[in-house]
Structure 1
C-alpha cells in the first residue's frame, strides 16, 4: 500500500522554482508539460521576475502557479494589475503567502486581506493556495497558524505545507487541522534531492527566493542537507506515505522544493517511479 500511495504522490507533483535567469531554460529542457511549476517571489527583486517567468513558461504550455506575496503588493490597484496580467497569460492558479518583505511594500501585511480582495474581485483564479506550517513557524505560535488557515479557508482551494522532515510531526499536523475543520486539500512540501555544494551556493545568494531564505533561517534543517546521510527524500516519502496514505488526510500531491536543481529533481522522480514499478 505504501508503494502504491507513493507512486500516486509522485504522479501529482508541483515543482517550486526560483525566478533566476537560467530557470526557464532548465524547465523547458527537463520538466514535462504535465507537471505544474510554481515560481517564488523575492522581497529584494520584487514581483517582476516572478511575473515575467510565469508568462514565459505559460506561453510554452506549462501550468504555472506564481507566488504573489501580500507584502510585495503596493495597494489594490497593484493587485488588480497583477491579476489582469496573470489572467492575460492564462494563469488560473496563484499561491498567496504573507511573504518576507520588511517593511511591506504597501498596506497588505498578511495574506488574508489579499485573499478577501481577490474574492471581492470575483475570485479571478480557479485555484488559490495558502501556506501551512507542520513544524513551528519561526515567529508565530502554532495555534495562530492553524487559526489563520481556518480564517482563510473560504478564500482558498488548497494548502501547501512548508518543509517538514518528521513524518510523525507531519501526520499530527494534518490530523490537527482536520479536527479544526480545515478540509482544504494539502500539497506536502518536501525537499528534492539536494547536493550540498549547490545548496551552499544558493544560500550564499541574496534574494533568490523564499525557499532558500527559509532554509537559512532554520540552521538545524540546513544541517540535515549538509550532513552526509542526513536527508534522503525517498526515505522520507516512504515513511510519509504510511502516515498520510488514507483518504481522510486529504493529501492532493507533492510540492517539491527544487532549490534550483531542476534537472536533478526530475531525474530523481523518474528513477524512483521506475524502482516502484
Structure 2
C-alpha cells in the first residue's frame, strides 16, 4: 500500500524553480510538460524575473504558476498590470504568499488584501494558491497561520505547505486545519533530492525564493541533508504515505522544492516511479 501510495503522489507533482539565468534551459531539458512548474520571486530582484520566466515557459507549453508576493506589489495599478500580463501569457494559476520584502514595496503587508482585491477584479485566475506552515513559522504563532488560512479560504482554491521533515508533524498539521474547517486541497511541500553543498551554494549565489530563505532560518535542517542516513524524500514520503493518502487529508499532490537542481529532481522521481512500478 505504501509503495502504491507513494507512486500515486509522485504522479501529481509541482516543481518549484528559481528564476536564474539557466532555469529555462534546465526546465526545457528535463521537465515533462505534464509537470506544473512554479516560479519563485525575490525581494532583491523584484517580480520582473519571475514574470519574464513565466511568460517564456508558458510559451513553451508548460503550465506555469508564478509566485506573486504581496510585499512586492507597489500599488493597486501594479497588481492589475501583473494580472493582465499573466492572463495574456495564458496563465490561469498564481501563488500568493505574503513574501519577505522588508519594507514592502507598497501598501500590501500580507496576502489577504491582495486576494480580496483579485476577487474584486473578477477573480482573473481559475486557481489561486496560499501558503501553509506545518513546521512553525519563524515569526508567527501557529494559531495565526491557521487563522490566516481560514480568512483566505473564500479567495483561494488550494494550499501549498512549506517544507516539513517530520511525518508526525505533517499529519498533526493536516488534521488541525481540517478540524478548523479549512477544506482547501493541499499540495505538500517536500524538499527534493538536494545536496547540502549545492543548496548552500544556491542560497549564497542567488538568494531568492521563499524556500531558500526559509531553510536559512532553520540552520539545523542542513544537518538533516548532510548526515549519513539522514533526510531523503523517499523516506519521508514512505513514512508519511498513510497520512497523505487518507481521504480526509485532502492532499492533491506534492510540491517539490528543487532549489534549481531540476535534472536531479526529475531523475530521482523517474527512478523511484520505475522502482515502485
State TM-score, norm by structure 2: 0.98
The aligned counterpart of 1:258 is: 258
Q: Determine the C-alpha separation between the residues in 1 that align with 2:269 and 2:91.
A: 25
Distance, in Å, in 2 between the alignment partners of 1:207 and 1:106 is 22
1:142 paired residue number: 142
State the match for 1:90 in structure 2: 90
Q: Is the 8 A contact 1:2 1:245 kept in 2?
A: no
Aligned to 1:187: 187
Following superposition, which runs of at least 4 residues in structure 1 exceed 6 angstroms of deviation? none
Query: How far off is 1:206 after superposition?
Result: 4.7
Question: Could you tell me how far apart the structure 1 residues matched to 2:148 and 2:270 are?
Answer: 36
1:242 aligns with 2:242: yes
| Structure 2 spans left out of the alignment, 5+ residues | none
Shift of 1:178: 0.2
Across the two proteins, how many residue pairs are aligned to each other? Answer: 277
The one-character-per-residue Cα deviations of 1:74-127 (angstroms, maximum 9, x if unpaired) are 000000000000000000000000000000000000000000000000000000
Question: 1-side partners of 2:225 and 2:51: how far apart?
Answer: 30
Q: Aligned partners of 1:209 and 1:229: how far apart in 2?
A: 27
The Cα of 1:195 is off from its aligned counterpart by 1.3
Q: What corresponds to 2:45 in structure 1?
A: 45
Shift of 1:230: 1.8
* Alpha-carbon distance in structure 1 between the residues aligned to 2:222 and 2:97: 22
Does 2:227 correspond to 1:231?
no
Q: Please give the root-mean-square deviation of Cα atoms over the aligned residues, in Å.
A: 0.8
Partner of 2:126: 126
**Structure 1 residue ranges without an equivalent (≥5):** none
1:227 CA displacement: 2.5
| Alpha-carbon distance between aligned partners in 2 of 1:182 and 1:37, rounded to the nearest angstrom | 25
Q: CA deviation at 1:229?
A: 2.4
Rounded to whole Å, the distance in 2 between the matches of 1:245 and 1:126 is 25
Query: SS of the residue aligned with 1:154?
Result: coil
Q: Where in structure 2 are the equivalents of 1:26-65 lying within 5 Å? A: 26-65=26-65
CA shift at 1:223, angstroms? 1.8
TM-score by length of structure 1 reads: 0.98
Distance 1:130 1:208 in 2: 19
1:105 aligns with 2:93: no
